Amino acid sequence: MKVAILIPTLNRKDFLLRTLKYYSLLKSIHPIYIGDASSISMIEEINTVVRGRVVVHYFHWPGLSDRDTIKKLAQKASVDCEYCAFQGDDDFFVPNSLSICAEFLSNNDSFRTAQGNAAVILLDRPGAYGNIKALGPYWNSPALHGSSGTERLKEITENYWVPNFSVHRTIELIADFTDKYPVKDRYWGELTNTFSCAINGKSKFIDIFYLIRNVHDGIDHQASQHGWRESQGWDDSFSACKLTLSEKLRDNSGDVIAMTRLEVQFLLDKYLARTQIKWDKILRSRRQFGIIDFLRHSRVSPYLRRMRDFLICSFFMTAQRKSDMRYIKCSRSKYFTDFLPVITILSNK
């Protein structure tokens, strides 16, 4: 079953071409929709890399924001594709897992999204290519099972993850990314989309290897910045998010009594407080902000870490560890076969 892969990009040619090399290597059946906000078109370089091995729809939309690009790509994809999934230009889906998630949605109308296990990787050098320096789980068995939008909103604010990366029905992703009230702040935009997905339907976790995310210095981790709450437009975007969510809760058929706007604000305030505590802990323990620094600084020396991983992979690989994202580079991991093409592409061979 085909799933449209939606990729917004801006001035990250090397990462985008790397992603296209990956899908070309696998001869993926899933059509790729690229929305490029860069000033100069990349179509010639894309055609050189792809060479007809995957279907690519390229749209040059200079200056368009990432959220607007995703929605516009979904509108383009909706003509031919019932299902879609959004990824960053530096990420990788496991193609077969996209089909499995779409198949699940086709047989389960009560669920709005589906996804599997995901890993996050950090390379040993700047840029798109190199060796994997650190890896680990990106999320922990994400799912939403509440019977109402209110229940699911509480679920995802207490255990935040990003269903934007899940497989969606294309028309439903368009609805989740359509806001009556404009949210200009980029991070509030992600939160609004994430919480809208949760309000509008349940989400299924499937025990498959689904997604690889690549963290690097080129990513702006806005949530980790002290000045975010003092940034221009923060208050307006917060207000727009509250309005959007309270209206979607009111319109959700699963809610007999939806949360009021004040109750939504209380829930978001609790979420923000927990987020601030999390980043403060990282600041104290690692001295610098951000997931890059969090992964880069380890209390275990690289030599001892490699020795530990070798012993575990060679002699102590239990059934539980075969599913552990930290050991997917081990040939005995249940996800190794799916991960191997990523290693190949990262080496730029």
Residue 100 belongs to domain with CATH number:
3.90.550.10
What is the mean predicted confidence (pLDDT) over 225-251?
Answer: 84
pLDDT of 231 > 90? The answer is no
Q: Please indicate whether residue 53 or residue 227 has the higher confidence score (pLDDT).
A: 53
Global pTM value: 0.88
pLDDT of 51 > 80? The answer is yes
168 and 309 share one domain: no
Q: Which of 282, 295, 286 is nearest to 124 (CA)?
A: 295
C-alpha separations of 157 from 31, 128, 168, 277, 342 in Å: 33, 32, 20, 14, 32
Q: Please indicate whether residue 328 or residue 297 has the higher confidence score (pLDDT).
A: 328
Contact 43, 58 (CB under 8 A): yes
What is the mean predicted confidence (pLDDT) over 283-291?
Answer: 47
Residue 140, in any domain of the structure: yes
162 and 66 share one domain: yes
pLDDT of 280 > 90? The answer is no
317 and 212 share one domain: no
Q: Which pLDDT value is given to residue 324? A: 79
User: 131: domain range?
Assistant: 4-218
Contact 211, 94 (CB under 8 A): yes
pLDDT band at 337 (very low <50, low <70, confident <90, very high): very high
191 and 336 share one domain: no
32 and 129 share one domain: yes
Tell me how many domains the chain contains.
2
Question: Which of the listed residues 218, 238, 273 is the one where a domain comes to its end?
Answer: 218
* Strand (E) or helix (H) holding 86: strand 83-86
Q: Which pLDDT value is given to residue 303? A: 61
pLDDT tens-digit readout, 97-115 = 999 999 999 999 999 999 9
| Coil/strand/helix, residue 139 | coil
Please report how the helices 234-251 and 261-286 are oriented relative to each other, as an axis angle in degrees rounded to 10: 130
134 and 15 share one domain: yes
Residue 109, in any domain of the structure: yes
What is the mean predicted confidence (pLDDT) over 218-244?
Answer: 74
pLDDT tens-digit readout, 7-44 = 999 999 999 999 999 999 999 999 999 999 999 999 99
Rounded to 10 degrees, the C-alpha dihedral 193/197/199/202 comes to -160
Q: Which of 11, 7, 5, 6 is nearest to 220 (CA)?
A: 11
188 and 325 share one domain: no
pLDDT of 128 > 70? The answer is yes
What is the mean predicted confidence (pLDDT) over 187-205?
Answer: 94
Q: Which pLDDT value is given to residue 70? A: 96
Q: Which pLDDT value is given to residue 297? A: 46
176 and 322 share one domain: no
Rounded to 10 degrees, the C-alpha dihedral 68/71/75/77 comes to 120
Residue 259, in any domain of the structure: no
Using the Cα atoms of residue 80, residue 82, residue 86 and residue 91 in order, give the sign of their dihedral: negative
201 and 310 share one domain: no
User: Is 78 buried (19+), middle (13-18) or exposed (0-12) by CB count in 10 A?
Assistant: middle
pLDDT of 226 > 70? The answer is no
pLDDT, averaged across the chain: 86
Tokens 């078109």 correspond to 41
Contact 164, 183 (CB under 8 A): no
311 and 214 share one domain: no
